[in-house]
């Protein structure tokens, strides 16, 4: 059995699931999802992120608390002590590409972010099917999807939220500037004859007031849409301007347009560690500040 600990928002959960799915296929083993940490984050007042993968066509095997304890702490108190040392002393978060991780076998508890497409590039076709929305977008979402299909659509993701409020996140991650979005839209206009921009953000009001948005723009984000619906709609656009966020990273990665233009900000983070393989070779990098 393989259990993957889910943490963070939808984009992070997709990285974790993708790695777990790869390992389960390689080992011909069952994959189960540990969502206990998502529940605990709510209970202790941390930034609550719900289990967000449920509307995708994934393997939704939820691990029981007993199964989690058995795999997470196989040696009881000694396992708990070692995990504490790795997290608090060694600061191991399993973010970078670590090839030996794919050699794990047997009962495994996977804990980390696993933010490298090298873990799962070779199962892309499987993930494209499983990261497909399994239920309706609703009337509003279906209307947006129709507009996306009928235009030279370009998704624009503006991530704010904790990127503007959490001092640690502000210092370590940094945020894409207005200049980045202007340069990205200039590149699109120079290469796409008649683009229509579909704007996605957790702060649409700020975007309307501060970003120089082209006339042919649709402000998509709405309370009637779930995060998985928004990510799916972004992925259906013909081209993508993404933020330094795993949320729009995944929208661009699962975008199946063979001629897509993807524009990504560089550096991905200011002071936090990230894997260089996050930048796909065909993506265009523009300074985010």
Q: Which of 15-19, 118-122, 136-140, 162-166 is the least confident region?
A: 162-166
Least confident range from 70-79, 97-106, 187-196, 260-269: namely: 70-79
Do residues 154 and 278 both lie within one domain? yes
pLDDT bucket at 94, cuts 50 / 70 / 90 = confident
- The mean pLDDT value of the chain amounts to 90
Same domain, 147 and 122: no
Percentage of residues in the chain having pLDDT higher than 90: 73
Reported as a pLDDT band with limits 50, 70 and 90, residue 107 is very high
Work out the burial of residue 236: count CB atoms within 10 Å of its CB; fewer than 13 is exposed, 13-18 middle, 19 or more buried.
buried
The answer on 154 and 91 residing in a single domain is no
Question: Is residue 252 domain-shared with residue 193, that is, in the same domain?
Answer: yes
59 burial level (CB within 10 Å; 0-12, 13-18, 19+): middle
Comparing 171-180, 214-223, 230-239, 267-276, the range with the smallest average pLDDT is 214-223
Q: What is the spatial distance between Cα 95 and Cα 223, in angstroms, rounded to a whole number?
A: 31
Domains held by the chain: number: 2
Q: Does residue 157 share a domain with residue 124?
A: no
Contact assessment for residue 24 and residue 122, using Cβ atoms and an 8 Å cutoff: no
Q: Is pLDDT of 140 > 80?
A: yes
- For residue 261, the enclosing domain spans 137-287
Question: Are both 144 and 121 inside the same structural domain?
Answer: no
């Amino acid at each position: 059995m393989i259990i993957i600990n889910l943490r963070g928002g939808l984009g992070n959960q997709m990285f974790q699931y993708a790695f777990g799915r790869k390992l389960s296929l390689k080992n011909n083993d069952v994959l189960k999802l540990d969502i206990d940490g998502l529940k605990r984050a709510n209970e202790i007042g941390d930034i609550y992120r719900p289990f967000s993968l449920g509307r995708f066509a994934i393997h939704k095997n939820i691990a029981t608390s007993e199964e989690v304890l058995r795999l997470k702490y196989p040696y009881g108190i000694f396992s708990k002590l070692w995990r504490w040392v790795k997290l608090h002393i060694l600061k191991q978060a399993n973010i970078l590409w670590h090839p030996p991780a794919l050699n794990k076998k047997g009962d495994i508890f996977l804990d980390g972010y696993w933010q490298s497409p090298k873990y799962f590039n070779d199962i892309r076709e499987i993930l494209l099917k499983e990261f497909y929305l399994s239920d309706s977008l609703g009337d509003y979402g279906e209307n947006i999807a129709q507009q996306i299909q009928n235009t030279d659509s370009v998704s624009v993701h503006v991530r704010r939220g904790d990127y503007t409020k959490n001092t640690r996140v502000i210092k370590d991650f940094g945020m894409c500037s207005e200049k980045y979005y202007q340069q990205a839209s200039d590149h699109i206009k120079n290469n796409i004859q008649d683009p229509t921009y579909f704007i996605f953000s957790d702060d649409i009001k700020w975007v309307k007031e501060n970003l120089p948005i082209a006339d042919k723009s649709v402000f998509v984000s709405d309370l009637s849409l779930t995060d998985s619906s928004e990510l799916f709609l972004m992925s259906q656009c013909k081209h993508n301007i993404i933020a330094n966020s795993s949320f729009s990273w995944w929208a661009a990665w699962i975008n199946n347009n063979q001629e897509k233009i993807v524009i990504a900000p560089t550096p991905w983070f200011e002071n936090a560690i990230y894997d260089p393989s996050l930048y796909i070779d065909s993506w265009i990098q523009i300074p985010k500040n």
